């Protein structure tokens, strides 16, 4: 059951139509799955088009990641340790994503978008490490489009029952996580082969 405060926030977001979708995703006080499912419901009712739902959903997701990226870039780890609780981000989650980021590099920005809890936290070490913003937006953008597509489509299919999205989403998000992990493996192989080729070229030179 959603708490009273969450219900009020959800009512506020839904009263704003697709601008509410964008705002709700940018601040993500309400889980993104619910907001995007509501966007799908608006498509179901014919109030917005499927393309509009995907557009506003993707932009909203990206805005949140950009905000967190810049919090990491300018606020650093100390800021997150002090104020992260207000963003629903715990220090232990940042610790975990920092280790992943250091070990796997930029590719983990894409993969982490499909993992509960760390979806938001991964943007912070990306900012702290001053990851190239274009590369950050590229990986985040691809993941955000896929995430938005899934939940808008599910919300559209559920219609009036869009609020039950948490129960219906698992069969769709789990395969996507497998694809994301395969992507990360491919990215790591690419980096390894590229690094080995550069080392070999330097040796020959």
Sorted by sequence, the CB contacts under 8 Å of residue 22 that are 6+ apart come out as 56, 57, 59, 60, 63
Q: What residue ranges in the chain does DSSP mark as E strands?
A: none
Residue-level pLDDT, tens digit, the chain, 205 residues: 445 656 677 777 777 777 888 888 888 767 788 888 888 888 998 988 999 999 999 999 899 889 888 988 887 777 777 776 666 676 776 777 777 677 766 677 777 777 766 677 778 878 877 888 898 888 888 888 988 988 898 888 888 887 777 666 666 666 666 666 676 677 667 767 776 666 565 655 5
> pLDDT tens digits, residue range 101-136?
777 666 777 777 777 666 777 788 788 778 888 988
Provide the whole-model pTM: 0.73
Cα–Cα distance, 92 to 109 (Å, whole number): 17
pLDDT, residue 171, reads 62
Q: How far apart are CA 185 and CA 58, in angstroms?
A: 25
């Amino acid at each position: 059951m959603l708490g009273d405060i969450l219900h009020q926030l959800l009512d506020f977001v839904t009263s704003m139509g697709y601008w509410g979708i964008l705002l709700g995703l940018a601040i993500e006080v309400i889980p993104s799955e619910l907001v995007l499912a509501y966007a799908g419901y608006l498509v179901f009712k014919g109030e917005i088009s499927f393309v509009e739902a995907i557009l506003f959903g993707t932009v909203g997701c990206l805005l949140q990641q950009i905000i967190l990226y810049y919090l990491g870039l300018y606020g650093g780890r100390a800021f997150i340790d002090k104020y992260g609780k207000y963003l629903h981000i715990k220090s232990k989650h940042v610790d975990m994503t920092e280790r992943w980021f250091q070990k796997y590099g930029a590719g983990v920005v894409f993969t982490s978008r499909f993992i509960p809890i760390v979806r938001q936290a991964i943007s912070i070490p990306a900012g702290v490490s001053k990851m190239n913003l274009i590369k950050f937006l590229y990986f985040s953008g691809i993941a955000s489009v896929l995430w938005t597509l899934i939940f808008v489509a599910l919300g559209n299919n559920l219609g009036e029952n869009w609020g039950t999205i948490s129960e219906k989403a698992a069969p769709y998000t789990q395969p996507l996580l497998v694809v994301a992990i395969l992507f990360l493996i491919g990215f790591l192989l690419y980096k390894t082969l590229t690094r080995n080729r550069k080392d070999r070229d330097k040796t020959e030179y």
